[in-house]
Amino acid sequence: MSEKTEDLDNYLDNHYIHRSNWLRAAVLGANDGILSTASIAIGVAAASDMREPVILATLAGLVAGALSMAAGEYVSVSSQTDVEKADIEREKSELNEMPEIELQRLAEIYEKRGLQKETALTVAKELTEHDALGAHIRDELGINEISQAKPMQAAFASGAAFTIGGLLPFLVTLFLPLKSMEYSLYGFALFFLIILGALAARTGGSSIGKAILRITFWGTVAMGLTALVGYMFNVNVG
């Protein structure tokens, strides 16, 4: 019996939805890290004939971007957490003040999902007896362990991923020839984005081809527009 339970747990662990929270933050962070730092470097390289301004601008963008991503994720996900907590507190009050109405509301939810009216009411009663608040949080509010907001996890994943992604184009500005630097940055950034798209798709169980196409298209647009700005202003930063 214990072996069957363990097998079931292992089977459920394989579902990709369990990775959605940290994967979203990590992919967003790495993608932004590659694109932001590469775009900054391309824009400055297009308007400069010296390496130092390119390196300085890229490093500043890397540090500022990583901190901004981490702080932004923490603030936004914390706001979601505050909303979830407020709704849970409200649900507690409603269960205390009008338990019968809440029971009927829960039964209606199950009925809309396809259960017979009597069956839905029976299920609602049994779940209410077991854990009334948990049932309403899950089925009325739509909050569960997978979708529940985790600010620190999102902040760390985004900040760390941005740093890793941003380091790649930064290394290009350090070691590749200054001549045609913007083209080298574009080529390497595109290569990095393709790898990121493939890894993200494989981790999430989605189409690798679609992920690569999506990430390279928008990456090209972002870097191309930034390079255009550098060429249009044609300011010698050196």
pLDDT tens digits, 94-132? 888 888 888 888 888 888 888 888 898 898 888 888 888
Full-model pTM: 0.67
The contacts found for 97-106 with CB under 8 angstroms, 24 or more apart, are 99/128, 99/132, 102/132, 102/136, 103/128, 105/140, 106/135, 106/136, 106/139, 106/140
pLDDT tens digits, 189-204? 989 888 888 877 777 6
List for the chain the helix, strand, coil content (%; round to 5): 85, 0, 15
Q: Which of 168, 171, 173 is nearest to 193 (CA)?
A: 168
Distances, alpha carbon 150 to alpha carbons 66, 93, 147, 155, 157, in Å: 18, 24, 9, 9, 11
Helix (H, G, I), strand (E, B) or coil at 112: helix
Residue pointed to by tokens 């928008």: 218
* Per-residue confidence (pLDDT) for residue 163, from 0 to 100: 93
* Per-residue confidence (pLDDT) for residue 91, from 0 to 100: 85
String of DSSP letters for 127-167: HHHHHHHHHHHHHTS---TTTS--HHHHHHHHHHHHHHHHH
Q: Which of 15, 1, 18, 33 is nearest to 158 (CA)?
A: 33
Q: Give me Rg for the CA atoms of the chain.
A: 25
Residue 114 backbone zone (phi > 0: left; psi -120 to 50: alpha; other: beta): left
Q: Which of 62, 59, 54, 71 is nearest to 162 (CA)?
A: 62
**Over its length of 238 residues, how does the chain's per-residue pLDDT go in tens digits?**
555 555 545 544 555 444 555 566 677 788 889 988 998 898 888 878 889 999 999 999 999 999 998 898 888 888 888 888 888 888 888 888 888 888 888 888 888 888 888 898 898 888 888 888 888 888 887 776 655 667 888 888 888 989 999 999 999 999 988 888 888 888 899 898 888 888 777 776 678 888 888 888 888 887 778 767 766 765 544 4
Secondary structure, 3-state, 48-109: CCCHHHHHHHHHHHHHHHHHHHHHHHHHHHHHHHHHHHHHHHHHHHHHHHCHHHHHHHHHHH
Q: Are 219 and 35 in contact (CB under 8 A)?
A: yes
